[in-house]
Amino acid sequence: MTYQRPPLGRHFLLDIAEAPFDLLDDPVGIEEALVATVRTMGAKVLGIYVHRLTPQGISGVVVISESHLTIHTWPELGEAAVDLFTCGDEVAAREAALALAPRLRAGRSELREVLRGVRSF
């Protein structure tokens, strides 16, 4: 007999393009955008680490009460990859992820969703 259970959570994968170099290379601006995203979804920040890469780019993670939000930027390409995983309110998380693209002044963006967890046993 196979049993189904709800997913462990939902992963939102946001790809950003045509964003300004100066914003994607600014650790303070990136941190502010990430924290604003977490607040938009109503989650609690548990920890933040943002690192500026050499010669350019940012890698950052915000650990949240529902899981995590990460970003990796390529300012020279105007691109960023964002990963938001939540086991909380998926509607609020989706809206927060979508709101991050305008915060980073993206010309284009694409959001994909993936359910997490093995749901049959």
Of 65, 72, 109, 120, the active-site residue reads 72
Total residues belonging to the chain: 121
Considering 11, 59, 68, 87, which one is annotated as catalytic? 87
Catalytic annotation, pick one of 11, 67, 68, 109: 67
- Active-site residue 65, yes or no? no
Q: Which residues of the chain have pLDDT under 70?
A: 1-2, 119-121
φ and ψ of 14, to 5 deg: -110, 120
Q: What does the pLDDT read at residue 120?
A: 57
* Cβ atoms 24, 57 nearer than 8 A: yes
Please give the domain boundaries of the chain with CATH numbers for all domains: 9-115 (3.60.90.10)
pLDDT at 117 (0 to 100): 86
* Amino acid 4: pLDDT: 79
pLDDT confidence of residue 1: 62
> What's the pTM?
0.91
CA distance linking residue 60 with residue 25, whole number of Å? 12
